[in-house]
């Protein structure tokens, strides 16, 4: 078989793993990056990328692909199609499927489906059997079968003892414990952020202390055990302060924020008139929280931007606000939102974006990627920062379209996604 040869010409190459941010040519040969700059390119497929940005393939450490068991909302194949359309070459999928990814067999099932997917898909396995919070899964076997971390995401680990044991055992395998930090008693049956707007709308609120109180506990247990903790989807202004503080004490903690928590506030529930596509857990909070999260990202307190892509079918979401499930799709809008709301508004640099969406995810979860170094796998994303487009449900590759961003105009779009040297998405 002849090796594919691609020359991406004239784009701004942004690769913080090598301190590169300049206009140059990128050469791909077969599955690998050949070189940046220099001459050559005879018999290469030339992609004229003038005006575009080229980054190491984006990596999303938090998606829900619903397979097995929820194939009407998403499958590994459809979720991976949405991923490459969004510029992601690698994604991690959460274990709250049916059955859950809580044993080696289900990990193998997911990896088998992943081998036929549009991008690389790595499963996260459950911390506890059936995600019931009672008994640890067979962590050793699960890691051997190919999971990259453990999480009961969707639910907190309520028992401090279980979390302690998980943080102790997982050290043997060098993977983090990933927590959805929420005190269920404080969150009770809330459906949106607790504040003036929840009062005005007559909806039960989820206070920010439901996140921060549990986060403080998780950090203390991580400190005590010396284990590695990765905290999902921060939503509250006080959370990065707790993380920063814990890091200063030497706690091994990393964390993520979603595009929706970086760009929306609780106002959206009112603005979209109780549209259940705005219902997400943790909820989008106040402007103060949103600004604090943006600043924490800029200041390297938050490591990753992760989508928490959470597809739900219309028959589920078209319910009254109180009864609709939590979650919104995010793979196909992440780049557009980050460019429109952060990069173009000069709140985030391109380098910081690429760190949060590629370099750091690869480092934290020990995944291939996160770099354009010669000899590394050619996972590459090309973004046109000036492409204007409108978010439309009919254009989603995802099987679901539960997004609060429908009909929104965005500036900045993925125009090509290359996975191990082969073009998996193109909209040039």
Binding residues (CB under 6 A) for ligand DOR: these are 64, 96, 153-154, 180, 280-281, 310, 325-327
Q: What element of type H or E holds 88?
A: strand 88-93
347 vs 369: CA distance, rounded Å? 26
Nearer to ligand DOR, 22 or 188 (CB): 188
∠ Cα 164 168 173 (to 5°): 140
- Collapse the DSSP code of 34 into the 3-class scheme (helix H, G, I; strand E, B; otherwise coil) and give the result: strand
119 vs 369: CA distance, rounded Å? 12
Nearer to Zn ion, 16 or 86 (CB): 86
Whether 269 and 311 have beta carbons less than 8 Å apart is answered as no
Binding partner of 280, given ligand DOR, Zn ion, none, CB within 5-8 angstroms per partner class: ligand DOR
Nearer to ligand DOR, 82 or 383 (CB): 82
| Smallest separation, CB 201 to Zn ion (Å) | 24
Binding partner of 303, given ligand DOR, Zn ion, none, CB within 5-8 angstroms per partner class: none
DSSP character at residue 396: -
Phi/psi at 399 (5° precision): -70, -20
Separate counts of helices (H) and strands (E) for the chain: 15, 18
Nearer to ligand DOR, 333 or 371 (CB): 333
90 vs 358: CA distance, rounded Å? 9
Nearer to Zn ion, 56 or 86 (CB): 86
Q: Which of 308, 351, 379, 427 is catalytic?
A: 308
Whether 309 and 260 have beta carbons less than 8 Å apart is answered as no
Binding partner of 96, given ligand DOR, Zn ion, none, CB within 5-8 angstroms per partner class: ligand DOR
Binding partner of 9, given ligand DOR, Zn ion, none, CB within 5-8 angstroms per partner class: none
Binding partner of 327, given ligand DOR, Zn ion, none, CB within 5-8 angstroms per partner class: ligand DOR
| Smallest separation, CB 328 to ligand DOR (Å) | 7
129 vs 157: CA distance, rounded Å? 12
Nearer to ligand DOR, 324 or 354 (CB): 324
Q: Which residues bind Zn ion (CB under 5 A)?
A: 153, 308
Whether 293 and 233 have beta carbons less than 8 Å apart is answered as no
- Both tokens assigned to 357: 């969406």
| Smallest separation, CB 256 to ligand DOR (Å) | 12
Nearer to ligand DOR, 26 or 310 (CB): 310
47 vs 44: CA distance, rounded Å? 9
| Smallest separation, CB 314 to ligand DOR (Å) | 15
Binding partner of 68, given Zn ion, ligand DOR, none, CB within 5-8 angstroms per partner class: none
Q: What Rg, from alpha-carbon coordinates, does the chain have? A: 21
15 vs 17: CA distance, rounded Å? 5
- Both tokens assigned to 427: 């909209």
Whether 124 and 150 have beta carbons less than 8 Å apart is answered as yes
For the question of residue 189 being annotated catalytic, the response is no
Binding partner of 102, given Zn ion, ligand DOR, none, CB within 5-8 angstroms per partner class: none
Which residue number has the CB closest to ligand DOR? 327
20 vs 48: CA distance, rounded Å? 20
**Number of Cβ within a 10 Å radius of residue 188:** 12
Binding partner of 358, given Zn ion, ligand DOR, none, CB within 5-8 angstroms per partner class: none
Nearer to ligand DOR, 80 or 281 (CB): 281
| Smallest separation, CB 91 to Zn ion (Å) | 12
| Smallest separation, CB 354 to Zn ion (Å) | 23
- Both tokens assigned to 380: 């590459």
**Number of Cβ within a 10 Å radius of residue 315:** 8
| Smallest separation, CB 280 to ligand DOR (Å) | 4
120 vs 110: CA distance, rounded Å? 11
| Smallest separation, CB 428 to ligand DOR (Å) | 33
Active site residues: 308
């Amino acid at each position: 078989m002849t090796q594919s040869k691609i020359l991406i010409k004239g784009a701004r190459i942004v690769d913080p793993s090598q301190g590169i941010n300049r206009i140059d040519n990128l050469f791909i040969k077969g599955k690998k990056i050949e070189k940046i700059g220099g001459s050559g390119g005879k018999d290469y497929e030339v992609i004229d990328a003038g005006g575009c940005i080229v980054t190491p393939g984006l990596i999303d450490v938090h998606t829900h692909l619903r397979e097995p068991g929820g194939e009407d909302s998403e499958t590994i194949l459809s979720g991976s199609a949405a991923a490459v359309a969004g510029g992601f070459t690698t994604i991690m999928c959460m274990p709250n499927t049916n059955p859950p990814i809580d044993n080696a067999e289900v990990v193998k099932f997911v990896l088998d489906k992943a081998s036929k997917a549009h991008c690389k898909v790595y499963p996260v396995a459950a911390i506890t059997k059936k995600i019931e919070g009672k008994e640890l899964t067979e962590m050793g076997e699960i890691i051997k079968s190919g999971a990259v971390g453990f999480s009961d995401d969707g639910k907190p680990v309520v028992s401090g003892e279980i979390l302690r044991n998980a943080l102790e055992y997982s050290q043997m395998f060098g993977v983090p414990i990933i927590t959805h930090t929420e005190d269920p008693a404080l969150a009770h049956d809330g459906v949106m952020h607790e504040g003036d707007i929840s009062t005005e709308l007559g909806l039960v609120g989820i206070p920010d202390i439901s996140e921060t109180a549990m986060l403080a506990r998780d950090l203390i247990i991580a400190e005590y055990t010396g284990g590695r903790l990765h905290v999902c989807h921060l939503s509250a202004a006080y959370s990065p302060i707790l993380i920063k503080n814990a890091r200063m004490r030497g706690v091994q903690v990393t964390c993520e924020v979603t595009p929706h928590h970086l760009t929306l506030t609780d106002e959206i529930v009112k603005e979209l008139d109780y549209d259940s596509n705005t219902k997400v857990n943790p909820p989008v909070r106040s402007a103060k929280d949103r600004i604090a999260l943006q600043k924490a990202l800029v200041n390297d307190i938050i490591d990753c931007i992760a989508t928490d892509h959470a597809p739900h079918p219309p028959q589920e979401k078209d319910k009254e606000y109180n009864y609709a499930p939590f979650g919104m799709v995010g793979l196909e809008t992440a780049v557009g939102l980050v460019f429109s709301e952060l990069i173009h508004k000069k709140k985030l640099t391109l380098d910081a974006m690429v760190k949060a969406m590629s370099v750091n995810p690869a480092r934290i979860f020990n995944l291939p990627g996160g770099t354009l170094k010669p000899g590394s796998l050619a996972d590459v994303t090309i973004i046109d920062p000036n492409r204007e487009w409108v978010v439309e449900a009919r254009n989603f590759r995802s099987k679901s379209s539960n997004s609060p961003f429908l009909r929104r105009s965005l500036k900045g779009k993925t125009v090509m996604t290359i996975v191990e040297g082969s073009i998996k998405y193109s909209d040039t």
